[in-house]
Amino acid sequence: MTDVLSVSKLRAGYGETVILEDVDFTLPEQGSLAVLGRNGVGKTTLLATIMGRTTYHGGEIKYRGEKIENLPIYERCRRGIGYVPQTREIFPSLSVEENLLVAEAQGGKWTLERIFELFPNLGNRRRNRGNQLSGGEQQMLSIGRALMGNPGILLMDEPFEGLAPIIIESILKAVEKLIREEALAVILVEQHAKMTLRVTQNALVMSRGRVIHSGPSAGLLADEELLARLVVAQ
């Protein structure tokens, strides 16, 4: 199976400050990866760098064999990289439907009705503005908007942060469906380590901008001592 994403010797940060050092990993087509670690270790920076939002200092990022580290953000989106930022970044004055249509890619399998099937709450509130939604609904909208671009890979930065358990469960089921039924490649950054490991195939753990562990999610989940040592287990 070919790799949808390959990262090699990646160095990046913000301005002259380097956050990521020699980061290496690959993600196969239809693969899923949990990115774990304590706060401030570079997880968000990693996704932002893949998306082109940070300062590139060295190394290589390949999407389906093509080097993309010097491409602008919009070109990475066009090639098939979907991004769900931690801050959601929906348009507050646009309706749910308008937020989704802004990101629509012509001819793809993700349509308004498919998004509303995945997230029925959004279908029920399709005419409401973004600023009239709850935090959980805004997160659903952020995920739905990324899917409307019909991505080949979806980068998700802490999609469960600050949400009530019942909403987390709903969004988690949607993420599981994307991974297991839709066979979409997903990179999931999360603080809920155990929950994230249960739905992903592989995991890497970061510390101080470097990868300190890489392997199957099931193996890390089964090793309580290692998991506790590497991350704050939740």
Instruction: Domains for the chain: give ranges and CATH numbers.
Output: 1-80+194-234 (3.40.50.300)
Q: Name the pLDDT band for 142 (thresholds 50, 70, 90).
A: very high
Given a contact cutoff of 8 angstroms between Cβ atoms, the answer to whether 40 and 29 are in contact is no
- In this structure, the chain runs to a length of 234
Q: What is the pLDDT of residues 66-117, one digit of tens each?
A: 999 999 999 999 999 999 998 888 999 999 999 999 988 767 889 999 999 9
Total-model pTM: 0.93
Picking from 25-29, 169-173, 230-234, which range would have the lowest pLDDT averaged per residue?
230-234
Please check the confidence at residue 1 and state whether its pLDDT lies above 70.
no
Spell out a b/e string for 186-222, using b for 16 or more CB atoms within 10 Å of the CB, else e. Answer: bbbbbbbbbbbbebbbbbbbbeebebebeeebeebbe
pLDDT value, residue 234: 43
Which H or E element spans position 173?
Answer: helix 165-180
- The single residue listed with the structure tokens 């001819």 is 107
Angle between helical axes of 135-148 and 165-180 (0-180°, round to 10): 20
Rounded-to-integer distance, Cα 2 and Cα 151, Å: 16
Q: Mean per-residue pLDDT for 142-165? A: 94
pLDDT at 232: 62
Q: What is the pLDDT of residues 182-224, one digit of tens each?
A: 999 999 999 889 999 999 999 999 999 999 999 999 999 999 9
- Predicted pLDDT at 87: 87
Percent of the chain, pLDDT > 90?
88
Count, in order, helices (H) and strands (E) of the chain: 10, 10
The pLDDT value given to residue 156: 97
pLDDT grade for 171, boundaries at 50, 70 and 90: very high
Q: What is the pLDDT of residues 74-83, one digit of tens each?
A: 999 999 999 9
pLDDT at 231 over 90: no
Identify which of 186, 161, 184 has the alpha carbon closest to the alpha carbon of residue 83: 186
